[in-house]
């Protein structure tokens, strides 16, 4: 399966794939609107902002295609690229939480602060988002994307860090050599785990 960097003109398409994949993810459910349609819109806007952040500060955005469509997306940051300037990054993602209303905005800010608090401070390779379209899950798309990212981390001779709020992802990431380093709680008492791969 071919994995390539995502062109900017496909960022909107990729944001829809991310929102489709994250719609029922426990972390996004905990933070976003209760209504699924509104949560999809919120997630799409937040993810679209994240794509712009990664692109603006030199990170990598990979995608895999199936039948000419984006089937999966992985965003990453090389050592020294995280965190981006906080105020500008927040502004680039603000549309989703703002349009979703004050309760979602508050939960988004709390979740963001909690994740930043536990993010490693030393240089590392960060897998920020990894998602596969529901129509293409369990077909090797995610594995191809993550393998490409881990090859990049190995080229840079650094460890890889990621976060997941979905307990079903823990054994999947463990199969790639990740181990849990801790966890915390997001709003609505949803757990999120932190993992590294040496």
- Tens-place pLDDT, residues 62-83: 999 999 999 999 999 999 999 8
pLDDT at 86: 79
pLDDT at 85: 82
pLDDT at 165: 98
Terminal-to-terminal C-alpha distance of the chain: 26
pLDDT at 10: 98
Contacts within 8 Å (CB) and 24+ apart, 119-123: 119/82, 119/83, 119/161, 120/161, 120/196, 123/79, 123/80, 123/158
Domain extent listing, the chain: 3-197
pLDDT at 108: 95
pLDDT at 92: 87
- Helices marked H in 73-197: 86-93, 95-100, 102-118, 141-155, 169-174
CA nearest 149: which of 161, 138, 139? 161
pLDDT at 94: 87
Residue ranges for the chain with pLDDT beneath 50 = none
CATH code, residues 3-197:
3.40.630.30
The pTM assigned to this predicted structure is 0.95
pLDDT at 91: 83
pLDDT at 95: 87
In angstroms, the CA 92 to CA 86 distance is 10
Helices (H) and strands (E) in the chain, counts: 8, 7
In angstroms, the CA 120 to CA 146 distance is 20
Radius of gyration of the chain from its Cα atoms, rounded to whole angstroms: 16
């Amino acid at each position: 399966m071919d994995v390539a960097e995502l062109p900017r003109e496909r960022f909107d398409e990729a944001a829809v794939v991310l929102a489709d994949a994250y719609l029922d993810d426990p972390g996004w459910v905990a933070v976003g609107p209760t209504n699924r349609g509104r949560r999809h819109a919120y997630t799409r806007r937040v993810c679209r902002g994240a794509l712009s952040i990664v692109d603006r500060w030199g990170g990598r955005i990979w995608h895999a295609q199936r039948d000419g469509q984006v089937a999966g997306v992985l965003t990453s940051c090389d050592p020294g690229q995280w965190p981006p300037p906080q105020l500008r990054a927040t502004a680039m993602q603000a549309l989703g939480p703002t349009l979703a209303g004050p309760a979602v905005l508050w939960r988004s800010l709390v979740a963001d602060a909690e994740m930043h608090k536990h993010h490693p401070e030393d240089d590392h390779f960060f897998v920020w988002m990894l998602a596969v379209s529901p129509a293409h899950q369990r077909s090797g798309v995610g594995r191809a994307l993550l393998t490409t990212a881990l090859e990049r981390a190995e080229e840079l001779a650094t460890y890889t860090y990621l976060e997941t709020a979905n307990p079903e992802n823990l054994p999947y990431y463990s199969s790639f050599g990740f181990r849990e380093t801790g966890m915390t709680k997001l709003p609505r008492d949803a757990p999120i785990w932190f993992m590294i791969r040496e």
